[in-house]
Structure formats: structure tokens, C-alpha cells
Structure 1
Amino acid sequence: MKTTMVLKNADKINQILKDIVSDSFKEIEGEEVLLCMECCDVDLFVTVDSHEELLDVIKENFELDEFGEVLDNDQFIALMKELDEYYVQLHIESGFYDYFPAGTYTVNGQEEETETDILAPKGIFYAPFEEAVKEDK
């Protein structure tokens, strides 16, 4: 995990992110689900909205106002963007998912194209399309 900001608790943030990736996979394991990488299906900004512990751990690296809000919002957003890139990479490298980069794939004998990168639970799809389910899954 690389960030331009020195984090007080990088190990803690890293572990929570890894746990979220693992837990998210367990929720869809074996299901015919395609996750669009550009459609907020894998997006840290969305994740922190429902994961208070992660948000609190990230906020530990900032000065907060009396309401618990980050004072330097620009620096917070910059860090979140860096962590989001790492979060996406964690999904790709986790071993839980098949990664299908944008491009052309042959599905049922026909060329199909996707303009977005796609993740799917490992072993379910042979291409990033709903009709590309492996028969021997």
C-alpha cells in the first residue's frame, strides 16, 4: 500500500481493506456476478459509507473538528483516491476473482467487446459477459 501521506496506522488500514475484500468475496462466492470496475461495484468511497470502522481508522490520520469531521478535506480526498486504487488492486490480486480487462472476447463463437474492466468470482465465467458462464463451474 503506497500513499503520499505518511499514515499513523497503515497496517491497520491495510488489514481492514484485506478483510473487506475477503468478506465481500464470501458474500458472492460461487454466484454468477460480474463486477464493473468503472461502475462503482468496487469503490472505496462507496465502501466507507457502510463501513464505519474503516472510516474511523482512516480519520485517525487527520486533525478533526469538534464534530469528528476532517479539517483538511483536500488531503483526505487525495488519500481516499490513493487508497481506492489500492483497494481495486487488492481485489484483482486477491486470488478470489478472475480479472477481465477491457477488450474483445469470444463468447459462444461471437466477438463481444467490453469497454470496462470486470471482476467475477473465480472460475465462474470465461469472459466478462452474463452469457459466458463456464459449463463446468
Structure 2
Amino acid sequence: MKTMRQLDNLNEIDSILKQMVRNSYEEAREEGELLCMECGDVDLYIAASNHARLQDAINMNFRIDESGEIIEHEEYQQLMDELSEYFLELHKDSELFDFFPAGSYEVKGDERESETDMLGPKGLFSAPFEDSIIKE
């Protein structure tokens, strides 16, 4: 993970993000779901808003005012953008998911188009469509 800002707890943040990816995989596998990489399914901003430990770990790297708000808002936003990109890459590179880029796929003899990049739990889907689940 590379960021423009020097992080005091880089390893902690990295560990939390990797655990979030594993949790995402477990949930998607259990539910038999695909994750849309452009629709919020793999959105760090959404995930962080519900993850107090991650929020606290990120906030430790910034000065906070008396009302609990981050003073260096632009730097915070830049870090969140960098972490968001890293979070997407973690999903793609984790070896837990199959990556289905936007494009044409054949499903059950029909040619179909996926307009977004999708992820599916490794080995569960043959294409980025809910009905392309591989029967075991």
C-alpha cells in the first residue's frame, strides 16, 4: 500500500482492509452473489462508514479539532481516495475472487454484455451474471 501521506499505523490499516476483503468474500460466497466494482459493492467509503475500527485507525493519522472533526480535510480526502483504489486492487489481487471485466460473455448459449467490472467468489460463476453460477 502506497500513500502520499506517511501513516503512523500503515500495517494496522492494511490488516483491517485485508480482513474486510476476506469478510466480503465469505459473505459473497455464502450468499452466492457477485460484487459490482462500480456500483458500491466494493466501495471503501461505504465500508468505512460502518467500520469504527477502520475509521479510528485512519483518523489517528490526522489532527482533530475540539468537535472531533479532522482539520486536514483535503489530506484526509486524498488518503481516502488512495485507500479506495487500494481496496479495489486488494479485491482483484486477493485470489479469493474471479475478476470479470466489462465486456461480452456467453452464458447458456446466449451472448451477453456486462457494462461493469464484476467480482465473483473464486470458482462460483462462469461469467458476471447471477444465472451463470456453476453447479457443483
4+ runs deviating over 4 angstroms: none
2:102 paired with 1:102: yes
Query: For residue 82 of structure 2, what is the aligned residue in structure 1?
Result: 82
Query: For residue 72 of structure 2, what is the aligned residue in structure 1?
Result: 72
Give 1:51's aligned amino acid. H
State the distance in 1 between where 2:29 and 2:110 align: 28
Query: What stretches of structure 2 of length at least 5 have no aligned partner?
Result: none
Query: For residue 22 of structure 2, what is the aligned residue in structure 1?
Result: 22
TM-score calculated relative to the size of structure 1: 0.94
Aligned residues: 136
TM-score calculated relative to the size of structure 2: 0.94
Instruction: State the Cα deviation string for residues 24-46 of structure 1 (Å, max 9, x = none).
Output: 22223243201111001001100
Higher helix fraction: Structure 1 or Structure 2? Answer: 2
8 Å Cα contact 1:3/1:82 also seen in 2 = yes
Query: For residue 43 of structure 1, what is the aligned residue in structure 2?
Result: 43
Query: What stretches of structure 1 of length at least 5 have no aligned partner?
Result: none
Q: What secondary structure sits across from 1:99 in the alignment?
A: strand
Q: What secondary structure sits across from 1:40 in the alignment?
A: coil
Compute the RMSD of aligned alpha carbons: 1.1
